[in-house]
Amino acid sequence: MAATGAGRAPREDTGLIAALAAVLADQSPEPAFVALMLGMPSEADVARDIGRDIDPDAIFAARSALRALLGTRLGPALRETYRRMDETGPYSPDAASAGRRALKNAALDLLAAAGASGIALAARQYQQATNMTDRMAALATLSLHPVPERRAALDDFYRRYADDPLVTDKWFGLQAVIPEAGTLDRVKALMSHPAFSMGNPNRVRSLIGTFVQTNQTQFNRADGAGFEFLADVALELDPKNPQVAARLGTAFRSWRALEPVRRARAEAALRRIAAAPNLSRDLADIAGRSLEAA
């Protein structure tokens, strides 16, 4: 689907829809297995399968269209699955309960992809959640949609867990993967947040690392702004923490597989890093290796 290019209507695969409907109707498999069946390859997985001249925007558009189609066509079955998997009793960490939560949240994600009623369900789950798994899943689902409920949930989440460093890391990371044109500016703004410090490697990895390693459309922007941002951060960080700077630099590892415009801009950013004076051995090695096969 992604290979057909962004903007074209997706082909409706009736066989796939029927197969997933059958999986949802059959209550004999373990919920954890069904949750995996409802998943789909990530954008990075699709890019690796395409292999060359990759357009991340086309992949995102095709994958989003498929998720919305599945959420719409399977809506009633997904809602029934969500209802059956919803647990109102005390939280339990056992495998069976974890599988039920996984399936419930997989159904929620597809329902939200289909439209407003699914987003409202996610907002309600966020507010009523009795455990971190369900609250994080609802927040992750809301983060994919530019709706007021997202901002409200993100603000509430920080207020609730600002004193927990690990949970705050997750809060930064969720915002770094939002697949929207404003996310690079959002990341830059969050670098001025009181809870962020370039001297905190975990915080750098959670915000900047998540953005450059995971946000396929916004790091690989066609205007090259994502590549230039990474070059700026890596060069700023290199004198203080060359290991983290080098780790961030590995986000360039697949630049040669991009389509020509993005490829040229990624290479320019890499060469700027490689040409910088007093570069650490760590970052120089990453830049050099990335450019060797150019």
Q: Which of 65, 85, 94, 47 has the alpha carbon at shortest distance from 254?
A: 47
Domains of the chain are: 1-161 (1.25.50.10), 169-294 (1.25.50.10)
d(CA 196, CA 216): 23
The residue-averaged pLDDT of 155-176 equals 97
pLDDT > 70 in the chain, percent: 96
pLDDT band with cut points at 50, 70 and 90 for residue 90: confident
Residue 1 confidence (pLDDT): 63
Judge whether 38 and 110 are in contact, CB under 8 Å: yes
pLDDT band with cut points at 50, 70 and 90 for residue 89: confident
Please report, to the nearest 10 degrees, the dihedral formed by the alpha carbons of residues 180, 182, 184, 186 taken in order: -110
Percent of residues in the chain assigned helix, strand, coil, to nearest 5: 70, 0, 25
Residues 6+ apart with CB under 8 A from 188: 229
Mean pLDDT over all residues of the chain? 93
Residue 292 confidence (pLDDT): 87
Residue 4 confidence (pLDDT): 58
d(CA 238, CA 82): 47
Residue 2 has pLDDT above 80, yes or no: no
Residue 88 has pLDDT above 80, yes or no: no
Amino acid in position 255: W
Residue 236 has pLDDT above 80, yes or no: yes
Judge whether 41 and 24 are in contact, CB under 8 Å: no
Residue 272 confidence (pLDDT): 97
Residue 294 has pLDDT above 80, yes or no: no
CB count within 10 Å of CB 244 equals: 23
Residue 3 confidence (pLDDT): 58
Residue 92 confidence (pLDDT): 85
> What pLDDT digit, counting tens, does each position of 258-287 carry?
999 999 999 999 999 999 999 999 999 999
d(CA 243, CA 283): 8
* Verdict on whether the full-model pTM lies above 0.85: yes
Residue 280 confidence (pLDDT): 96
pLDDT band with cut points at 50, 70 and 90 for residue 252: very high
The residue-averaged pLDDT of 73-92 equals 91
- β-partners of residue 258 are 54
Residue 225 has pLDDT above 70, yes or no: yes
Q: What are phi and psi of 256, to 5 degrees?
A: -70, -20
When computed from its CA atoms, the radius of gyration of the chain, rounded to whole angstroms, is: 21
Residue 38 confidence (pLDDT): 95
Residue 12 confidence (pLDDT): 82
